[in-house]
Amino acid sequence: MYSLFTVLLAAVPLSTLAGAHRASVRSRHRHISRTQVSTNKTYLLEDFYQADDFFDQWSFFTGSDPTGGNVAYQDKENAMSKGLAYVDDCDNSTVLAVDSTSTVPAGGNRDSVRITSNKNYSSGLFILDAAAMPVGCGTWPSFWTVGPNWPMAGEIDIVEGVNNQATNQMTLHSGTNVACTIDTALNSAPETFTGHVLGTNCYSTPTADAGCGVSDTDTRSFGYGFNNAQGGVFALLWDQSTGMSMWNFPRADIPADITAKAPSPAAWGTPAGFWSSQTCDISTNFYEHVMVIDTTICGNWAAGAYASSGCPGTCSSMVANATNFADARWVINYIAVYQ
């Protein structure tokens, strides 16, 4: 993906323009043994974000959208008073929504929400259980992690896509010239991940900030397909010794150990995406990450891919269509972090 970023952490954006600007990769391939994606390690719950305590542990970003989106990010007080951020008392889910009632001119900015965890992490098992994610032409939802002084400490895009995109896109962005690549030779039989590689060089500078992306092959991993499956779980295993692994489990396929808060990644099968520590120096390129959840509108990626997504008119004009954003909301059951 391609993205435009500022240096300040508060303004760190998402990745954009899937598949664009895929610069030639200068990866140095080595003859190496296969790394196991996960181990039999026991994971203990460190943080659990849910219900009334959820918003006490996150900060609301209120600056202009760094990705050029047509949104006005709201602070906590305004987001709650406008019904854009709240806890549903019926099921304790946390809702983060785009405004779907106000009159906004074409090309104007529609109210939305972007939140950042107060705590940072340098490894762990991250699990997002969501009943629904934002959908609709012009939307660009994402769940990601990012370190200080972007891109030096890296970025991990766990959930991301735009418009009517059918499958989830997972991407790593590294900010140093210390090696970080996807070696596709590692994915020969037996495969170490099931997704489709979009780019192999994670280093942001020579790839026009594209990073090394993997597209999920399951249509239940994003957008309408995800929502029609009653949502599901996204999991990131950030292991300094083995690498980065990501899974998506539709609601009906969530492993029992996740539900029991005793996750065992070794039993989950092949991940959708895997970035081996043998070709990516994890500890040097990724550290002190906060989690981010947001939904922007249009922006560099969603607007750029708008026509090819089969959306009507222009992205700028869609901003004015309030009803288009009726389902542009995250419904989050919980976020859990294990160590």
The active-site residue out of 46, 155, 191, 288 is 155
Answer whether 29's CB lies under 8 Å from 328's CB. Answer: no
d(CA 257, CA 252): 14
What count of Cα atoms within 13 Å lies in the side-chain half-sphere of residue 30? Answer: 11
d(CA 40, CA 50): 27
Strands 93-97 and 329-338: antiparallel
Non-local CB neighbours of 144 within 8 Å, separated by 6+ positions: 14, 155, 156, 157, 158, 159, 160, 291, 292
Catalytic site includes residue 160 = yes
**Which residue in the block uniquely carries the two structure tokens 């002084």?**
149
Provide the 3-class DSSP secondary structure of residue 22.
Answer: coil
Q: Provide φ and ψ at 7, rounded to 5°.
A: -80, -30
Q: Is 155 a catalytic residue?
A: yes
The catalytic position among 46, 77, 160, 288 is: 160
Under 8 Å CB-to-CB from 89, ≥6 apart: which residues?
A: none
Q: Which residues are catalytic?
A: 155, 160
